[in-house]
């Protein structure tokens, strides 16, 4: 199910019309073989996968986009729908196939595929089904794009990022989970809304599990370069800790609210993942709270676990984790979050 054939070969006998349309200038070199060609593959064309694909296209992040899904009819329909918007988008070659060979040579592979939870099914059983699904996804991605970066979006993202790392055999810097990048965006929005400022002027991180045990780093929040809690303390402005807890609770519950209202989340995660893709492929070296191998950080030594920490991202993946200061309480909560993830991993028998 490749991209529709180019119309340049519609001349008599399959003549390449491009040669007739364009006459080369004199004394020119052939096209450079070293010209950078950026390819992104998106695995899974559900609501999340297509929101990511659409955002990648509108933000001109790739020269080539490959889509993979097990449902061939839906896959072809989504491919054609995007191709038909070519006149309104930056030029991007779009391919789609149920065969993973279409992903060959990808710079970035984004995995959104995942099994749906059946009525009455336990979270552990769902996770085990997703692990089985990933055993059919990650090895072929690694085979066809051995130098790519894996960006895992499927939930539970921290555990599945760990699973992807094990299945791929990739170095840990090239296996990343979308983690709490979106949670932190929600966090910044709520703080900005609370204080009536622009969310882009709020520096704030949610770390740990992308889930109920996530940790809000209140001690390091700043607005316009001003540390919020220390400012309140110096100005002797009282605040209630419960107010802070309520904001964090709203972050954790926000995805559930969106799902209850529209049935799924898509646009925010689409922008979040495209934001990560830009930082990675454009070598932006920006800091994002994403799921990385956390062993050795903040006393997390109980095992190999992926969870979100503020990490610097580049063309090669994760450059390192920001040495951000945490309070004792934040460290304890982060370690507890790691233990929560490790407990789930221990039940998988990997």
Pick the range with the lowest mean pLDDT from 39-43, 132-136, 168-172, 257-261: 257-261
> Between 280 and 345, where is the model more confident?
280
Q: Cα(99)–Cα(97) distance, rounded to whole angstroms?
A: 5
Q: Cα(98)–Cα(77) distance, rounded to whole angstroms?
A: 13
DSSP character string of 121-142: --HHHHHHHHHHHHTTTHHHHH
Burial profile 170-193: b = 16 or more Cβ within 10 angstroms, e = fewer: bebbbbbbbbbbbbbbbbbbbbbe
**Which tens digits make up the pLDDT trace of 142-185?**
999 999 999 999 988 999 999 999 999 999 999 999 999 999 99
CB 280 within 8 A of CB 108: yes
Tell me the two tokens of residue 193. Answer: 């809304």
In the Cβ-directed half-sphere of 202, how many Cα atoms lie within 13 Å? Answer: 21
47 is in an annotated binding site: yes
Pick the range with the lowest mean pLDDT from 70-74, 203-207, 245-249, 339-343: 245-249
Q: Is 37 a catalytic residue?
A: no
Cα of 54 vs its chain's centroid, Å? 14
Domains and CATH numbers, the chain: 35-113+120-177 (3.40.50.720), 180-347 (3.90.110.10)
Q: Which regions of the chain does DSSP assign to beta strands (E)?
A: 39-43, 64-68, 93-97, 108-111, 149-152, 175-177, 202-203, 206-207, 215-216, 222-223, 226-227, 287-293, 306-314, 317-321
Mapping DSSP to helix (H, G, I), strand (E, B) and coil, where does residue 37 land?
A: coil
- Distances in Å between the Cα of 57 and the Cα atoms of 30, 65, 89, 106, 224 are 28, 8, 7, 16, 32
Q: Considering 37, 194, 210, 325, which one is annotated as catalytic?
A: 210
Q: What are phi and psi of 328, to 5 degrees?
A: -60, -40
46 is in an annotated binding site: yes
**Which tens digits make up the pLDDT trace of 69-84?**
999 999 999 999 999 9
Strand partners, 149: 108
Residue 256's pLDDT is 86
CA-based torsion, 252, 256, 261, 264: positive or negative: positive
48 is in an annotated binding site: yes
pTM tops 0.75:
yes
Tell me the two tokens of residue 303. Answer: 């095992």
Tell me the two tokens of residue 46. Answer: 């559900």
120 is in an annotated binding site: no
Residue 54 has pLDDT above 50, yes or no: yes
CB 115 within 8 A of CB 24: no
Instruction: Describe the crossing of helices 47-58 and 72-83 by its angle, rounded to 10 degrees.
Output: 20
Q: Cα(345)–Cα(103) distance, rounded to whole angstroms?
A: 29
135 is in an annotated binding site: no
**Which tens digits make up the pLDDT trace of 230-262?**
887 777 676 767 888 888 888 888 888 898 899
Measured in residues, the chain has a length of 350
Terminal C-alpha separation, the chain: 35
The tokens 């799902």 sit on which residue?
Answer: 259
Shortest CA distance to 152 belongs to which of 259, 232, 260, 269? 269
CB 47 within 8 A of CB 109: no
45 is in an annotated binding site: yes
Quick one: DSSP state of residue 208? B
What percentage of the chain has pLDDT greater than the value 70?
90
- Place 117 in a pLDDT band, splitting at 50, 70 and 90: low
13 is in an annotated binding site: no
């Amino acid at each position: 199910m490749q991209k529709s054939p180019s119309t340049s070969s519609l001349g008599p006998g399959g003549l390449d019309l491009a040669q007739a349309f364009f006459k080369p200038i004199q004394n020119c070199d052939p096209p450079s073989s070293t010209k950078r060609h950026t390819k992104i593959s998106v695995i899974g064309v559900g609501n999340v996968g297509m929101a990511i694909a659409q955002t990648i296209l509108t933000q001109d992040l790739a020269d080539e986009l490959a889509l993979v899904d097990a449902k061939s009819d839906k896959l072809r329909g989504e491919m054609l729908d995007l191709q038909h918007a070519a006149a309104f988008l930056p030029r991007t070659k779009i391919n789609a196939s149920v065969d993973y060979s279409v992903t060959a040579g990808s710079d970035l592979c984004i995995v959104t595929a995942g099994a749906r939870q059946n009525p009455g099914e336990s979270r552990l059983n769902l996770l085990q089904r997703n692990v089985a699904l990933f055993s059919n996804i990650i090895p072929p991605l690694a085979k066809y794009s051995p130098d790519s970066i894996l960006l895992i979006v499927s939930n539970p993202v921290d555990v599945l990022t760990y699973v992807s790392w094990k299945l791929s055999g990739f170095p840990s810097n090239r296996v990343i989970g979308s983690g709490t990048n979106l949670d932190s965006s929600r966090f910044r929005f709520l703080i900005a809304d609370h204080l009536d400022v622009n969310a882009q002027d709020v520096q704030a991180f949610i770390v740990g599990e992308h889930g109920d045990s996530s940790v809000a780093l209140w001690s390091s929040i700043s607005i316009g370069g001003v540390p919020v809690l220390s400012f309140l303390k110096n100005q002797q402005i009282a605040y209630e800790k419960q107010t802070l807890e309520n904001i964090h609770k709203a972050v954790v519950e926000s995805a559930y609210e969106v799902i209850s209202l529209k049935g799924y989340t898509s646009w925010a995660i689409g922008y979040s993942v495209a934001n990560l893709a830009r930082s990675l492929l454009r070598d932006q070296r920006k800091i994002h709270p994403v799921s990385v191998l956390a062993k050795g950080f903040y006393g997390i030594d109980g095992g190999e676990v992926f969870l979100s920490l503020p990490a610097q991202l580049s063309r090669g993946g994760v450059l390192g984790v920001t040495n951000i200061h945490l309070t004792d309480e934040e460290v304890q909560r982060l370690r507890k979050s790691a233990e929560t993830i490790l407990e789930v991993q221990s039940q998988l028998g990997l």
